[in-house]
Structures are given as structure tokens and as C-alpha cells.
Amino acid sequence: MASVKSDWVAAHPVGAFVVGAYAFTWIVSAPAAFMELSWAPWILIYIGSFGPPVSAAVVTWLRGDDVRAWARQITRWRVGWTWWVAAFGIPIAIVAVTTIVLLGIGGPVDLNQPFQSPVLIAVIFLFGLTVSGGLNEEPGWRGFAQPYLNDRYDALTASLIIGVVWAGWHLPYFVIPITPHSGFTTVNQVGWFVSIVLLSVILAWAYNGTGSVLIVMVLHAMVNTADILLPLAPDQLAVNGVIVETAVATVTVTQVAVTLLVVVAIVAYFGRESLARGEIPGAADFRDH
């Protein structure tokens, strides 16, 4: 076994990773809570958001494991075309089904809303792939924590643990005034937390089935992108500048329910032990057991 540079890190790799991810993100982002609206706080927020991959790389190095092998998961693209269809298609399907359900129950949607610009969709996707959920998060949560926790728990339990830790990591964004999270209503906050935990299961399924952080980055980015495709009716969500809580709750609960159905289907078909068929292909190659 390669030489271990820290006994505590060697014994508690996930704990060390979580401490490092939280510390980096919270310490770097914290000053943004006290800054005026400008580029400076956003720069701190986005630099801070790289806490998960930074921590994963450091812990991998401290354990004497192969940092390059860990990083190669980010470029693993040969996973089969069905996974690419799933990565792009599942988020769109969730939004489509949510829209249909909302139409059926008289929710705040309007199909006459103009379709979003393809350029805007592409920009949001690329943004999500790099600094809003993709490259800045997934090499840590799925590319590092998931395989370690898979060794100790079944994959479903591991993904739920990561989901809760992942949600907690976002807490500074709820107190930094310029971030979208700070403007969430109570129902938004609860729905967001539940959605994060459910999304963690879907992302774990994709990672466990492919050993690819790249496919998970794409899936994560598409989840963020697909939200703008939901044809919400602005005049029903807010009246005279006041948010209509019942309308927001209807959208939130519906989308969470549809996402839950996807998770239930994945667990029912693939099983909670691995959330995948067969061996995890190279998902933990960077570790030296």
C-alpha cells in the first residue's frame, strides 16, 4: 500500500473530506454575506463552491492514493449511449410530467409562455456543468464520497447520507443576500432540501452504473437547466409583487412528487444494494486498499 500521510485521514476518509469541503466553501464564501452587490462576492462564492473537489483531491493525496486516477473519472465518457440519453432525458422528462400534472390539477402553468432561447439554455447548461453543480461539486460528492460509503452501506443508504451532507453544505447560500437560495420561501426551502436528497439517489445511480463523474456532471447540469423549461405562469405565482404561497407550494410539491417516483422506480428495478446492475465499472480505481 502507498504511504499514508495522515493516520486520521486514512481511517476517516469521508469524514476528512466532508470537513475539508465545508471548511473551504464556508470560509471562502463567508465574506460575500457582508459585501455589496458586485462581482467580488460572486467570485468568492464560485471559488468557494469548489470545496468538494479540492477536499477530495487533498484527502486522496493525504491517503497516498492516486489523485490522477480520481481525476480521470471526470473525463470518463465511454459509458454507453443509454447513459447519455438518461443524463439528458430524465431531467426533461421530470419537467414534462410535472407540467402535465400541473395542467391536470389547474396549477400555475401557461403553455403560451414563449419557449426559452436555445442560446440561454446552452449557457445555463454550460454554467451548470462547470461552476453551478457540475465540476465544482460532483468530483467530490459522487466521485469521492460515494464509493467509500458504498463500501460501508448499501448504495441507497450511502446516497441518502450524501444527500443530507450535500444539502447542509449549501447553508451559507441561504444567508448570503445575493444568492437565489436567500429568497426561498419556507415551502421552497423544504422542497429544495427534499429534492437534493432525492437527486442524490439519481446521481448515485448514474455514478454507480458508469464509474463516470462526467455523466453525473451532465445529469446534474441538466437538472438545473431543465427547470427553466417549466412553463410557469408568472401572474399566478405573484400578484402585485406578493408571492402566492399556495401556487409556489403546488409547483414544488408536484415536482418533488414526480422526482420521488423516478427514485422509487430506480430503486425498485436496480435494487438498493448497488443501484446498478453488476459491478461498478472503475468507480473506485483511485483508492489503494
Percent of all residues in the chain with a pLDDT value above 70, rounded to a whole number: 94
Q: What pLDDT is stored for residue 95 in this prediction?
A: 97
pLDDT of residue 272: 87
What pLDDT is stored for residue 5 in this prediction?
Answer: 59
pLDDT in the model for residue 283: 52
Closest-CA residue to 185 (of 172, 169, 171, 174): 174
Calpha distance 25→27 (Å, rounded)? 6
- Residue 93 counted as domain residue: yes
Per the DSSP assignment, residues forming a β-bridge with 243 are: 238
Residues in Cβ contact with 279 at an 8 Å cutoff, skipping those fewer than 6 apart: none
Q: For the chain, how big is the Rg over CA atoms in Å? A: 19
In a domain, 54, yes or no: no
- Find the range with the poorest average confidence among 105-109, 138-142, 240-244, 258-262: 240-244
Contact between residue 162 and residue 143 where contact means Cβ atoms under 8 Å apart: no
* pTM score: 0.93
Q: How many CB atoms lie within 10 A of CB 80?
A: 12
Rounded Cα distance between 134 and 137, Å, is: 6
Residue 29 lies in a domain: no
**Residue 74 included in any domain:** no
In a domain, 265, yes or no: yes
**How would residue 10 be classed by pLDDT, with cut points 50, 70 and 90?**
confident
| Average per-residue pLDDT for the chain | 91
Domain housing 128 = 79-270
Q: Would residue 253 count as lying in a domain?
A: yes
At 277, the pLDDT band (50, 70, 90 cuts) reads: low
Q: What is the mean pLDDT of residues 92-118?
A: 93
Which helix (H) or strand (E) element contains residue 238? strand 238-239
Q: What is the pLDDT of residues 22-74, one digit of tens each?
A: 999 999 999 999 988 889 999 999 999 999 999 999 999 999 999 999 999 99
Lowest mean pLDDT among 2-11, 144-153, 252-261: 2-11
The residue-averaged pLDDT of 110-133 equals 91
| Per-residue pLDDT tens over the stretch 156-204 | 999 999 999 999 999 999 999 999 888 888 889 999 999 999 999 999 9
Q: How far apart are CA 31 and CA 270, in angstroms?
A: 44
Res 6: pLDDT: 73
Please, which pLDDT band fits residue 1 given cuts at 50, 70 and 90?
very low
- Residue 84 belongs to some domain of the structure: yes
**Per the domain annotation, does 50 fall within a domain?**
no
Q: How many domains does the chain have?
A: 1
- Give the pLDDT score at 278: 47
Q: Are 140 and 13 in contact (CB under 8 A)?
A: no
